[in-house]
Amino acid sequence: MKMVKNLKDKIEARSARVGVVGLGYVGLPFALEAAQAGFEVLGIERNPARVAKINNGENYVDDIREKDLAREVKAGRLRAQVSFDGVEELDVVVIAVPTPLDKNLVPDLQYVRHVTEELSKHLRPGQLVSLESTTYPGTTEEVMQPILETSGLKADQDFFLAHSPERVDPGNKRWQTRNTAKVVGGVGPNSLEAALAFYGSVLESVVPISSAKAAEMVKVFENTFRAVNIALVNELALLCDRMGLNVWEVLDAAFTKPFGIMPFYPGPGVGGHCIPLDPHYLEWKAREYNFRTRFIALAGEVNRAMPEFVRTKAWRILNEQGLAPSRSRILVLGMAYKKDISDWRESPAIEVIKLLQADGAAVSYHDPHIPVFKHEGLDLESVPLTEAALREADLVIITTDHSSVDYACVVANARRVLDTKNATKGVPDPEGKVTLL
Ligand code: SAJ
């Protein structure tokens, strides 16, 4: 098809103009990769403060090096704006906007719809639109395509439409945007061909799949796989607690098996805006097919019950000291949802703190990555992790295993430690202060 060849030629020549809508932990790293691959990239971001930062070459995403961003901005290969003006000049538009769930775990596609409606006003023949946001299978074809076709253009004939799920693991130093294989599915063969050519020119490897819907399913499966396996080890932690077994020892031994197993560990709950949420996109869509995704529902229940288990173990430890919860001072180590990042979305530490406060405890927190926390009804500041702060607490609860924390100092100075991440593994504990989840 001539239109595909034209686009592929522009991609090959790096003269294709690339747009990335949504410059968060997914969009900005991709926009940077596309600029580094030689494309001129226009970021479209609704947050004007982020737009200003980018245009000043300032970074705000943990996984990006500011000097790389500044270089591409200075070279004129990357700039950002709030509006959709000039979208008709673009050849490729990648969408990486949030796809949250509401409190009833119902998918909220407001951002995808809004962006798609804006794009439909500027859509012109030959453009490639690719959705990267994690969503239920069918979104690209059933929601985006009809909106884009209100332009009068027909998908896979006049313009190209694809789904290529993001696979960003925030904080992962080994696997980043560029070297993580990228699954690509189109709404038709021309869209697939165009999208493969584009992603193949920016990233190290692409994985073609037969449709946009299949690509969407791949992603929700990937995250469901994690949610279910995390729930399995969380359930094991609950049972080991009953049976007086050390779940961490059991798992470490199990993971010495060189085949047929993969390490997962229990924790205070499951955070991030992916694992706790994405599987429920599939659960919601499956109902349309009169299908109950029992593993997803069960995994969600088990994982969401973990903060309550942390509270139960905390009260046991305080009780051993003859302390009532309502007269206790607790220091929570870690607000972020996982180690060495500053993201706190859906962090289990939030729920743990709220449960402890509800029982009247005086709760403070320390997180080297989160100096202030005024969200979700909490209004706290990270306390310096001094020996005095450790000694004053009746109990220190480790909820995030940040690498920069000196756990030997924590164990040496705390009265008691509840370690929900096995962060104190290998730290001498001669007085038996540490209790593991
Ligand atoms: N967690 C456990 N036990 C484990 C692993 C994780 O309790 O064995 C907890 C973490 O502490 C965290 C939550 O689960 O609170 C999510 O952990 P995660 O490692 O899945 O981290 P995310 O959500 O930041 O990143 C994931 C990606 N992670 C990996 O593949 C390792 C991947 O699933 C997705 O590409 C990404 O979300 C996404 O954006 O969808």
Q: Tens digit of pLDDT for each residue in 224-266?
A: 999 999 999 999 999 999 999 999 999 999 999 999 999 999 9
Residue 171: predicted pLDDT: 84
Q: Is residue 117 within 8 Å of 81, Cβ to Cβ?
A: no
Give residues with Cβ within 8 angstroms of 173, minimum separation 6. Answer: none
Q: Is residue 223 part of a domain?
A: no
SS3 206: strand
Catalytic residue at 240? no
pLDDT score recorded for residue 318: 98
- Catalytic residue among 274, 314, 318, 341, which? 274
Both tokens assigned to 157: 């004939």
Do 359 and 292 lie in a common domain?
yes
Which amino acid makes up residue 175? W
The pair of three-digit structure tokens given for residue 42, joined into one six-digit string: 């226009």
If asked whether residues 240 and 187 sit together in one domain, one would say: no
Q: Are residues 88 and 196 in the same domain?
A: yes
- In the chain, the number of structural domains is 2
What is the mean predicted confidence (pLDDT) over 19-39? 97
Alpha-carbon distance 269 to 334, whole Å? 13
Residues 193 and 266 in one domain: no
Does 207 share its domain with 274?
Answer: no
Give the CATH number of the domain where residue 66 resides: 3.40.50.720
pLDDT band at 319 (very low <50, low <70, confident <90, very high): very high
Atom in ligand 1 nearest the alpha carbon of residue 347: 15
Chain Cα centroid distance, residue 96: 12
Joined tokens for residue 273: 């805006």
Over residues 150-175, mean pLDDT: 94
Q: Residue 131 domain-assigned?
A: yes
Residue 410, domain member (yes or no): yes
Burial label, 350 (beta-carbon count in 10 A; 0-12, 13-18, 19+): buried
Ligand 1 centroid to Cα of residue 25, in Å, is 14
pLDDT value at 104 more than 90? no
Q: What is the pLDDT of residue 273?
A: 84
Q: Are 99 and 129 in contact (CB under 8 A)?
A: no
Pocket test for ligand 1, best of 270, 306, 350 (most atoms within 8 A of CB): 270
Q: Whose CA is nearest to atom 11 of ligand 1?
A: 338
pLDDT at 136 over 90: yes
- Both 105 and 207 in one domain: the answer is yes
Q: Which atom of ligand 1 is nearest to the CA of 346?
A: 15
Measured distance CA(153)–CA(148) in Å, rounded? 8
Please give the C-alpha separations between residue 190 and each of 89, 126, 166, 196, in angstroms, as whole numbers: 21, 11, 21, 10
Domain annotation covers residue 222: no
Residue ID of nearest Cα to ligand 1 atom 31: 169
Strand partners, 273: none
By most ligand atoms within 8 Å of CB, the mutation choice from 26, 61, 168, 169 for ligand 1 is: 169
Percent of the chain scoring above 90 in pLDDT: 95
Residue 103 has pLDDT above 90, yes or no: no
Which ligand 1 atom is nearest residue 338's CA? 11
Are 319 and 431 in the same domain?
yes
Same domain assignment for residues 291 and 353: yes
Is the residue at 34 inside a domain?
yes
Distance, CA 150 to ligand 1 centroid (Å)?
A: 38
Report residue 274's pLDDT band, with 50, 70 and 90 as the boundaries. Answer: confident
- Is 227 a domain residue? no
Domain membership of residue 350 as a residue range? 236-436
Within a domain: 230: no
The pick from 136, 274, 309, 403 for probing ligand 1's pocket by mutation, whose C-beta has the most ligand atoms within 8 angstroms, reads 274
Q: How far is CA 255 from the centre of its chain?
A: 25
Q: What pLDDT is recorded for position 118?
A: 97
Q: What pLDDT is stored for residue 62 in this prediction? A: 85
Nearest to 159 by CA among 90, 84, 213, 83: 90
Helices (H) then strands (E): counts for the chain: 15, 15
Residue 199 structure tokens: 């992603």
Are 82 and 48 in contact by the 8 Å Cβ rule? The answer is yes
> Counting atoms of ligand 1 from 1, which one is nearest the CA of 341?
24
Kindly tell me if the per-residue pLDDT of 42 is higher than 90. yes
Best residue among 217, 226, 236, 277 to mutate for probing ligand 1's pocket (most ligand atoms within 8 Å of CB) is: 226
| Residue 246 and residue 184 share a domain | no
Looking from the CA of residue 223, the nearest atom of ligand 1 is 33
Which residue ranges have their beta carbon within 6 Å of ligand 1? 134, 166-170, 222-223, 226, 230, 264-265, 267, 270-272, 274-275, 337-338
Within 10 A of 375 (CB to CB), how many other CB atoms are there? 14
Q: Are residues 141 and 258 in the same domain?
A: no
Q: How far is the CA of 275 from the centre of ligand 1 (A)?
A: 6
Q: Does pLDDT of 102 surpass 90?
A: no
Is the pLDDT reported for residue 357 higher than 90? Answer: yes
User: 94 - beta bridge partners?
Assistant: 20, 130
Judged against a pLDDT cut of 90, whether residue 278 lies above it is answered with no
* Domain co-membership, 98 together with 147: yes
- Ligand 1, closest atom to CA 337? 15
Lowest mean pLDDT among 14-23, 273-282, 293-302: 273-282
**Cα(123)–Cα(141) distance, integer angstroms:** 16
Q: Measured between alpha carbons, how far is 154 from 347 in angstroms, rounded to an integer?
A: 42
Q: For residue 169, how far is its CA from the centre of ligand 1 (angstroms)?
A: 7
> What mean pLDDT comes out for the span 89-103?
94
Amino acid at 190: N
Ligand 1 centre to CA of 24 (Å) is 17
Residue-wise pLDDT tens digits, 181-197: 999 999 999 999 999 99
Kindly report the protein residue whose alpha carbon is nearest to atom 40 of ligand 1: 274
Place of tokens 């909820």: 399
Res. 170 pLDDT band, cuts 50 70 90:
confident
Task: Kindly report the average pLDDT of the chain as a whole number.
Answer: 96
Which phi and psi (to 5°) does residue 285 adopt?
-70, -35
Do 206 and 306 share a structural domain?
no
Whether 229 maps to a domain, the answer reads no
